[in-house]
A and B are shown apart, each in its own frame.
Chain A
Amino acid sequence: MISTQDKIKNIMSIVFEVPQEHITETSSKDTLENWDSLRHLNLIMALEEEFDITIPDEEVDNLINLRLIELIIHDLKN
């Protein structure tokens, strides 16, 4: 089974157009050139669809790197 982290990595790699292996736990807006506010929207929508969740308003701005995204999704799934 594909781990949650790999699924997120896959989505990030698709949305930001970078190879998966370039994405680390601390990849962020500062390190990924394509991570701008518009792609951030796309990321949210792709994640919500993939994991069948709704990311609450107050968490939207906290999705700033892979590790935090994983944590937030983990919390939402449980």
Chain B
Amino acid sequence: MENLKYSEILQQNRAMSQNDNGATYKVTILANITTNSIKELLEYQLRINNLNPIVAFGNFDTIVQDSMNCKDSNLVIIFYDMLTIVNGLSDFFESLPDDFFITLKNKIFSEIDILFDNLKDCPSVIFNSFSSTAFISSFVFKNNLDLFVTDLNKYITEKTQNNVSFLSLDKIIAQLGINQAFDFRLFHSSKAPYTIAFLKKYVLAIEPIILRNTGKLKKALVFDCDNTLWKGIIGEQNADTLEMSNRTKDGSIFKRIQQLAVYLSRQGVIIGICSKNNESDIAEIFANHSDCILKDEHIIIKKINWDDKATNLRSIAKELNIGLDSIVFVDDSSFEINLIKEQLPEIVYLQVPNTLTEYPNSLLKLVYSYFNITINKDDIQKTEIYKQQFLRENVRNNYKSIDEYLASLGIVVSIFRNEKSQIARISQLTQKTNQFNLTTKRFTENQIATIIESSIHQVFSASITDKFGDNGLTLICILQTDNSNKSTAIIDTLLMSCRIIGRNIEFAFMDFLIQKLLEQNFKTIYAEYIPTNKNSQVESFYDNLGFTVLEKTKSVTKYSLNLLDYNFKKIDYITTEF
């Protein structure tokens, strides 16, 4: 995938989608940034692995709320990004007061708690580490942002829940460099900070988790011997001159390969040998060579003979009773590698790189992609100690439900009517809002100005703040009235920016609106839902509020409501100001 252009990936993904026949694998992405471009990249990589992908996205910046609806996902990926957290603050990060940091930190901790709890039955969750790398900060002096991020990450690592994988964003950024990983232009226009190059790396980074979860992991790692486990050819030179120790430059590289093989054998990976040699020569090395740390005890199966390697690998698979697709094969010879490529395409292989210094990392990359490496007992114990320590120190609130959580936010809805200074923003919202938009009518600034001036319209707008920042003007409602019949009103437009969905703000606003209309002696209100490709989430909005359906066709549903019948939702944790 790394060598393909974005457009090529789109194209090949689409072509592959014509014959999806693998198992369905559903990924849900919850994010407080725009990550939609990852969709096709992820689909592509899943299809390469013979899975039939469904990639779904939560709403923008409603990670906690959406985490309740992920029960049918095989994998949930969470992008809880510092960029958006910092962007939503009212002041420069370094100048914020200490108590604010504590409050903000506790808010995020609570969100993580609820999130992990909501997702505890999900087969697999990937949570990205918090990163301050995108922000230019001092290289030397302590700064609040770095400390803040360190604390958040500490919380996550100590929290460990066995279905959650914690992914280091900084490592991916480091592989590319900040300039290649971020596109601030697209962050400021569309809240999409990451480049395609980054998203490609990201997909490759999470691939092992997907392979692990779908039973596509490998079981055996089979090595050739000469120039693969040591430098030199045993049939041509004295065994003493084979290099596999720190005494020589190349020897130290092969020593690392052997160390890795020993480690893997302890992790339960089957280590095998497949080599064209005299069996006794090789046996002598594993038994008695003082530099050789890979010993017989680590090796489960050996095929040392002069038969071709395809035959030998086949019999290895047969004897171990594993599939050929469970084998990874390492050899230095192009001839052997090509033979395997042609005859046994199911086998993943690594050819020892010409530049020998790249060998350990190439092998490690393969190992981390295809084998299940668990941390050792000491690490697990250490985490346990941290966890207990943390619980003792932990004195903050634990929110038990979404409602309690929302209540803790201190949401304030400030409502304006016919506010001329907002014409530009109101028009923009009608142009841009697609999801929570009941009628999807688009208005230019001029049209909005005219509507505000007109005597038969009332334009309501609302800006939303909570104790962590200002979401700005994000809700619009245009009401149409009739000068000859003062008792009825029509909701011409009702929309809300997706960034505030999931906080019950729409209900608080409807309470307000109906109250206002009652005060103005209105009796009946009419409303419409006009379906588009994108607004199905508000399909039942008016039904849920108790409106009566007057007429329902494919292109519109018409409603009415006797205002006196309205059931006020009375959401006590949202303050409405007018």
Contact B434 A38, beta carbon cutoff 8 Å: no
Contact B10 A46, beta carbon cutoff 8 Å: yes
B192: nearest residue on chain A (CB-CB)?
A41
Contacts of B195 in A (CB 8 A): 45
Contact B189 A45, beta carbon cutoff 8 Å: no
A12: nearest residue on chain B (CB-CB)?
B7
* Minimum CB–CB distance for A32 against chain B, Å: 13
Contact B7 A11, beta carbon cutoff 8 Å: yes
| Chain B 1-37 interface 0/1 with A at a Cβ cutoff of 8 Å (1 = within) | 0000111001100100000000000000000001011
Contacts of A14 in B (CB 8 A): 7, 10-11, 14
B185 contacts chain A at the CB level, 8 A cutoff: yes
B314 contacts chain A at the CB level, 8 A cutoff: no
Q: Is chain A's binding surface mostly helix, strand, loop or mixed?
A: helix
Chain B interface, number of residues (Cβ within 8 angstroms): 22
The listed residue (A10, A41, A50, A61) touching B37 by CB distance below 8 A is A41
B432 contacts chain A at the CB level, 8 A cutoff: yes
| Bound Cα distance A9, B400 (Å) | 53
Of the listed residues B7, B14, B37, the one surrounded by the most CB atoms of chain A closer than 10 A to its CB is: B7
Q: Is chain B's binding surface mostly helix, strand, loop or mixed?
A: helix
The listed residue (B7, B34, B186, B533) touching A50 by CB distance below 8 A is B7
Contact A46 B7, beta carbon cutoff 8 Å: yes
Contact B190 A50, beta carbon cutoff 8 Å: no
Contact B185 A17, beta carbon cutoff 8 Å: no
B196 contacts chain A at the CB level, 8 A cutoff: yes
Chain A interface, number of residues (Cβ within 8 angstroms): 20
A23 contacts chain B at the CB level, 8 A cutoff: no
* Minimum CB–CB distance for B86 against chain A, Å: 20
Contact A38 B36, beta carbon cutoff 8 Å: yes
Contacts of A49 in B (CB 8 A): 5-7, 196
A37 contacts chain B at the CB level, 8 A cutoff: yes
A6 contacts chain B at the CB level, 8 A cutoff: no
A75 contacts chain B at the CB level, 8 A cutoff: no
A57 contacts chain B at the CB level, 8 A cutoff: yes
Contact A37 B10, beta carbon cutoff 8 Å: no
| Bound Cα distance A57, B36 (Å) | 20
Q: Known contacts A49-B5, A57-B189; is A41 also within 8 Å of B11 by CB?
A: no
A44 contacts chain B at the CB level, 8 A cutoff: yes
Given A10-B7, A36-B534, A61-B189, 19 additional A-B pairs, CB 8 A? A14-B7, A14-B10, A17-B14, A37-B432, A38-B34, A38-B36, A38-B37, A41-B186, A41-B192, A42-B10, A44-B186, A45-B6, A45-B195, A46-B7, A46-B10, A49-B6, A50-B7, A57-B189, A60-B186
A/B interface sample: 14 pairs, CB < 8 A: A14-B7, A14-B11, A15-B7, A36-B434, A41-B36, A41-B186, A42-B6, A45-B6, A45-B196, A49-B7, A50-B7, A60-B185, A60-B189, A61-B189
